[in-house]
Amino acid sequence: MTDTDRQGGDEGFFAELDPVVFGVGFAIAVAAVIAFVVRPTTTGYMDTANDVIWTGFGWWYLIVMFFLVAFVVFLIFGPWGNIKLGEEDEQPEFAFLSYFAMLYSAGIAAGIVFWGPAEAVSHYDDVSPFIGAESQSPEAAVGAIQYTFFHWGVSAWTAYVVVALPIAYCAYRYDAPMRISTVLAPWIGIDNLDTPVAKAVDILAVFATIGGVATTLGLVGSQFLVGLEWTMGISVGDLGTVLVITGMTVAFTASVALGVQKGIRRISYVNLSLFGLLTVVTFLLGPTSFITAIGTEALGTYISQFIPMSFYTGTAETGTGGVSGWVGEWTIFYWAWWFSWTPFVGLFIARISRGRTVRQVAATGVLASTGITIPWFATMGGTAIYLQGDGQADVLSAIQTYDEAGAGYPLFEALPLGWLLTALFLLLVLLFLITSADSSTLALGMLTTGGAQRPSTVNRVIWGFLIGALASLLIVTGGVEALQAAAIITGGPFSLITVIAVASMALAFGTQRSLFLREEDEVDVPSSSAVASSDSDPDSKTDDD
């Protein structure tokens, strides 16, 4: 068993650690937990920092995200798409269905479950200044679905792919470590990935991952607790929230820490199947004609207005030259959230992409993922808006009472077989909580062990405890607002790394000789014109447990 594949108990845990990255990351997480225990008002400082960031630097998030979208389009359709992440004759490690299920479940699906029933109806009531429609009007309904497509469409996935590709390329072509600082390899060489600059990048990645994952676990965890109260009348209180969320995170992490294939892969299959089933059944039992009509129109406006939406700041509405409150609270929050998830998801995508081409990873990660995200938001958002407007369900009141976590339950109860749909929805929330906990602790383990692809269970349980505790304390002390502030604060700095990753790919893919290895170890790197297409039929590949 190699260093990158080790997994064991206490001895393996201490042997595998990168003491600097683990130590600093551990200290940050512990300090955050203590701060929220000792001074719950800490959320007030987070809100202040959050306001400063999105009002003063919101333009940066918008520009970088659009730049990444344009670059990924180039990767999909340009000559670099044929470059193999591994040896030229290497087959994909996972069959396409397994690959896509894991990528989607780890990348975004937990947030989709939370915001699916809530976001569009929120925009329907509080309309974006870009849409400029009257609240709860037909125009507002179309604009609401349009903006959910915008927030959860191609933009949401590009940063993940951009970070994943150079890491996978260097790891599977040149045996570089599986960690975020590997994006620097084309500039400083693989032999220099233990320098202070590289360590600083890995520490920044741990910091961003802690904030992004705590945000997601907090949102989905609060949705699960609201579901228990809604369906069974069980209210756990503040202490119960901390115990339940932290306990479940640790239990899930320990129980499924069996490696990628036996743990995450199998649960991801169940996730994707239940996700698809709930989408189809809701579409058929809900206002099908309304969903189809409004979804089609919203998709058209999303495509035609994508560029102006990408650069819209709402400055005219503020009168101060800063980003408007609506854009900051929604678009900037989402872009920062995606950036905060970039080290975790990017590293995870890199881990499962061995043997695939750049085009396969980019197209699967952006186009295919968006392709199944849009029907979900059209169905859930369209149903929520229709039921709210028709008076069959008061989704907005549930949001006012329980925050966005409560939106799904009155929606499903208002449909035929509502009890069954509500139960399936609650199960889906729980399953995505499991995959988020499992894949995020795997990524944190890789980050803090110098790139071990199978970090020890002890390492992952430690991170599971800290992330679960932080998420539950954020729920107790500040709710959704505190979680959003955490995402924006931790995600912003990592947007710089995505720009470096783009430059690294340009340097790596655009040259014919290696910039990674020592001179005596140099090998040729295929140029974009010399790389033969190695796209194979991924469905013909079978998985081995």
pLDDT score of 536? 39
The answer to whether 244 and 418 have CB atoms below 8 angstroms apart is no
Q: What kind and span of H or E run contains 514?
A: none
Average pLDDT, the chain: 81
Q: How far is Cα 146 from Cα 128, in angstroms, rounded to an integer?
A: 11
For the question of whether the overall pTM of this predicted structure is more than 0.85, the answer is no
Q: Domain ranges for the chain, please list them.
A: 3-528
Q: Mind listing the pLDDT tens digit for each residue in 332-373?
A: 889 988 888 888 888 889 988 999 999 999 999 999 999 999
- CB contact set of 400 (below 8 Å; sequence gap of 6+): none
Could you tell me where the DSSP H helices lie in 83-132? Answer: 96-104, 110-115, 119-125
Pick out the chain residues at pLDDT < 50: 1-9, 259-261, 512-513, 515-545
Q: What is the CATH number of domain 3-528?
A: 1.20.1740.10
Contacts of 113 (CB under 8 A, 6+ apart): 220, 223, 275, 425, 428, 429, 432
User: According to the model, what pLDDT value does residue 521 have?
Assistant: 44
pLDDT at 5: 42
CA atoms within 13 A on the CB side of 236: 18
- pLDDT score, position 530: 39
- Tell me, what amino acid is at 200? A
Which residues is 513 bridged to in the sheet? 524
d(CA 10, CA 89): 38
The residues facing 357 across adjacent strands are: 84
**Predicted local confidence at residue 260, as pLDDT:** 47
By C-alpha distance, which of 540, 529, 522, 423 is closest to 190? 522
| Amino acid 57: pLDDT | 80
